[in-house]
Amino acid sequence: MADKVLMKGNEAIAEAAILAGCRHYFGYPITPQTEIAAYMAKRMPKIGGTFLQAESEIAAINMVYGVAAAGYRVMTSSSSPGVALKSEGLSYIAGADLPSLVVNVQRGGPGLGGIQPSQSDYFMATRAGGHGDFRMIVLAPASVQEMAELTVKGFSLADQYRMTAMILADGTMGQMMEPVALDSLPVSPMPEKPWATTGTKMQRPHNIVNSLYLSPDELEKTNFARFERYKQIEENEAMYEEYLMEDAEYCIAAFGIAARVSKNAIDEARRRGIRVGMIRPITLWPFPVAPFKKAAGQVKHVISVELSMGQMIEDVRLATECRVPVTLCNRVGGMIPSPEQVLEAILKIADQGGKQ
Amino acid sequence: MSTRQFLFSGFGGQGILFAGKFMAYKGMLDGKHVSWLPSYGPEMRGGTASCSVIISDTPVGSPIVSTPDVLVAMNLPSLDKYEGSVATDGMIFFDSSLIERDVKREDVRAIPLAATSLANEIGTPTLANMVLLGKILASLGEFDEEKIAAVLKKVISAKRADMLEANLNAMRAGAQSTGLI
Amino acid sequence: MTVFKKPHALTDVPMHYCPGCTHGIVHRLVAEVIDELGIEGTTIGIAPVGCSVMAYNYFNCDMIEAAHGRAPAVATGVKRADPSNIVFTYQGDGDLASIGMAETVHAAARNENITVIFINNAIYGMTGGQMAPTSLPGQVTQTSPYGRDVNHCGYPIRVCELLSELEGPEYLARVTVNSVKNVNNAKKAIKKAFQNQVEGKGFSLVEVVSSCPTNWGMTPKQALEWIDEKMLPYYPLGVYKDRSGSQEAQK
Domain definitions of chain A by residue range: 5-236, 241-351
Q: Which residues of chain A have pLDDT under 70?
A: 1-2, 356
Question: Quick one: pLDDT at residue A328?
Answer: 98
Q: Are A104 and A167 in contact (CB under 8 A)?
A: yes
Q: Is residue C169 part of a domain?
A: yes
3 state DSSP class of C242: strand
Peptide bond before residue A110 is cis, with ω within 30 degrees of 0: yes
Rg (C-alpha) for chain B, rounded Å, is: 15
Closest chain C CA to residue A73: C81
Chain A residues whose beta carbon lies within 8 Å of the beta carbon of residue B64: 172, 261, 336, 338
Distance (Å, whole) CA A106 – CA A334:
9
Residue C117 near chain A (CB below 8 Å): no
Sheet with strand A50-53: strands edge to edge: A50-53, A24-27, A74-78, A100-106, A164-170, A137-139, A283-285
AA identity, residue A308: S
Q: Is residue C2 part of a domain?
A: no
Cβ of A116 and B62 within 8 Å?
no
Domain that holds residue C72: 23-250
Closest chain C CA to residue A213: C54
E strand or H helix at C60:
none
Model confidence, pTM: 0.94
Question: Quick one: pLDDT at residue A209?
Answer: 98
Decide: C and A in contact? Rule: 3+ Cβ pairs under 8 Å.
yes
Domain total in chain C = 1
Question: Quick one: pLDDT at residue B1?
Answer: 58
Q: Which residues of chain C have pLDDT under 50?
A: 250-251
Residue A212 C-alpha, separation from nearest chain C C-alpha, in angstroms: 8
Cβ of C65 and A70 within 8 Å?
no
| Residue among A59, A50, A98, A91 at smallest CA distance from A78 | A59
- Beta bridge mates, A117: A107
Q: Are C31 and C9 in contact (CB under 8 A)?
A: yes
Q: Is residue C8 part of a domain?
A: no
- Beta bridge mates, C171: C204, C242
Q: Is residue C195 part of a domain?
A: yes
Tell which phi-psi region holds residue B60, choosing left (phi > 0), alpha (psi between -120 and 50) or beta: beta
3 state DSSP class of A294: helix
Q: What is the per-residue burial (b if ≥16 Cβ within 10 Å, else e) of C115-124?
A: bbbbbbbbbb
Question: Quick one: pLDDT at residue C2?
Answer: 81
Q: Is residue C6 part of a domain?
A: no
Quickly name the fold that domain A5-236 has. Rossmann fold (3.40.50)
Interface test with chain A among C8, C65, C88, by most A beta carbons within 10 Å? C65
Domains and CATH numbers, chain B: 3-112+142-155 (3.40.920.10)
Cβ of A115 and B28 within 8 Å?
no
CATH of domain A241-351: 3.40.50.920
Q: What is the DSSP letter of C13?
A: S
Residue A115 C-alpha, separation from nearest chain B C-alpha, in angstroms: 7
Q: Is residue C230 part of a domain?
A: yes
CA dihedral for C49, C55, C61, C62, sign (positive or negative):
positive
Residue B67 near chain A (CB below 8 Å): no
Interface test with chain C among A56, A72, A197, A204, by most C beta carbons within 10 Å? A197
Residue A178 near chain B (CB below 8 Å): yes
Asked, colleague to colleague, whether A5-236 and A241-351 share their fold, the answer is: yes
Q: Which residues of chain B have pLDDT under 50?
A: 44, 179-181
Give ipTM to 2 decimals. Answer: 0.91
Q: Are A239 and A283 in contact (CB under 8 A)?
A: yes
Question: Quick one: pLDDT at residue B42?
Answer: 59
**CATH number of residue C91's parent domain:** 3.40.50.970
Question: Quick one: pLDDT at residue B181?
Answer: 38
Q: Is residue C70 part of a domain?
A: yes
AA identity, residue B29: L
Cα-Cα-Cα-Cα torsion A44, A50, A53, A58, nearest 10 degrees, comes to -130
Cβ of B21 and A177 within 8 Å?
yes
Interface test with chain A among B8, B34, B36, B56, by most A beta carbons within 10 Å? B36
Q: Where are the alpha helices (DSSP H) in A143-215?
A: 144-161, 171-175
Question: Quick one: pLDDT at residue A1?
Answer: 45
Question: Quick one: pLDDT at residue C1?
Answer: 75
| Residue among A256, A254, A278, A255 at smallest CA distance from A171 | A256
